[in-house]
Amino acid sequence: MYQINFNKPIHVHFIGIGGISMSGLAEILLKENFKISGSDAKSSDIIDNLIAMGAIINIGQCAENISDDIDLVVYTAAIHEDNDEFAACRAKNIPMLTRAQLLGQIMNNYKYSVAVSGTHGKTTTTSMLSQIFIEADTDPTISIGGILDSIGGNIRVGKSEFFVTEACEYTNSFHAFYPYISIILNVDADHLDFFSGIEEIIESFHTFATNLPENGTLIVNGDMDCLPLVTRDLSCGILTFGLQDTNKYYPADIETDEKGHMIYTLIVNGVKQERVHLNIGGTHNISNSLAAIAAADLLGIEREYTLAGLACFGGAHRRFERKGTLGNVTVIDDYAHHPTEIKATLTTALHTPHNELWVVFQPHTYTRTKALFEDFAEALKGFDHVILVDIYAAREADTGLVHAKDLAARIKSLGTDARYFSSFEAVENYLLLNCKKNDLLITMGAGDVYLIGEELLGK
């Protein structure tokens, strides 16, 4: 595998540079004086920012973008061999790395690297830990799969030995990471277009854990049934967190304030510690915060900075993000696109003051919708009103085996008001006519469903 020498900057070209993770890696290299070029299907604010920093970016992908002075090409899992730029690189024998391989090499430059993995909660937990690092004035380098207001985006390049990043299991990409601390928040059935089932997913997380050095530590959710399989035969340290009192880090005396934000007493090794005040809701976020606290403790960060960081963290963008009010209707946007995530968002919403609870859900990928069809229906039936829009295809082609209107019909059969609309405009018109005073409206999904809320708030 090609190895980057960060003391000798080269010309790196990114195929698909506009993605949230790819753009972050490009920004890190730009600030390390690398020459950066790239391409993407369409322009965006992210691309405009990279251009302002000195990157050369083409809109549209073609073989002509691959110039002879390119030393290395980085590509995402969405890029395949039939891509014109990919094929041109192969023809010119230009070294190539996946996004994950580059991230792994960047990580190796930091003594205290933390990789946050899990089927759910990666962005939130990485953001929590980032906020803690910032409060403690550690000058960290940060790579997040979402936007964090306190760093003005998804990337921060620091000058210290601290580095924190998300670690995604899709296509086993996190197997390219060799951090000092790994966090496993949870292990659930997802990405079934790649994995054969939960057994293979568990094995993938176990492999990720084996990448830790002997002096490293795995911070893992001790409430998981698959814990023994994930942690078997590891030579590193193991530290557990969770909601049960069998873990090293767990909560007690859980309460919510008038805004639905979580408050709890931290317990470590059975000993009561400080009272923790989160600026976000949801029991799942208590679990996420415990993982962040454990990592901060391991890295020697004083607890006062940890508590301050958690108290001021108001959530990453698209994670139960309050977008505004339409009349007396509160509009929330959330990234949930898996039944487990939907249930967690529903729990948070139920603890948020409201009259009736509305959700506009955009299923994400045909494979996931088909494989978890009944689980989606069970998770969504807890809302008062459910609106389905067309499945967001992402990297997939329509198989014809599942449709959003099928899911709407199934939810309706379970006794919940559910309906399907074929256009965002139709959804917006329906909501304007039917949402009432003090209702809570959530746009939900990993695609572009957030545009509905933004359009409504602009009216």
Q: Is 443 designated active site?
A: no
Q: Is 111 designated active site?
A: no
Q: Which of 135, 166, 321, 341 is catalytic?
A: 166
Q: Which of 76, 119, 123, 369 is catalytic?
A: 123
Q: Is 171 designated active site?
A: no
Query: Which residues does residue 156 pair with via DSSP β-bridges, in sequence order?
Result: 142
Cα separation, 400 vs 220, in Å, equals: 39
Name the residue with tokens 């059969």.
Answer: 413
Orientation of helix 339-350 relative to helix 283-298, angle to 10°: 100
Name the residue with tokens 């915060």.
Answer: 289
Cα separation, 127 vs 183, in Å, equals: 13
Q: Which of 122, 248, 323, 381 is catalytic?
A: 122
Q: Are 283 and 347 in contact (CB under 8 A)?
A: yes
263 CB-side CA count, 13 A: 8
DSSP sequence for 243-293: SSTTSSEEEEEEEE-TT--EEEEEEETTEEEEEEE-SS--HHHHHHHHHHH
CA angle in degrees (0–180, nearest 5) for 86-89-93:
140
Provide φ and ψ at 157, rounded to 5°: -110, 115
Please list the active-site residues: 122-123, 166
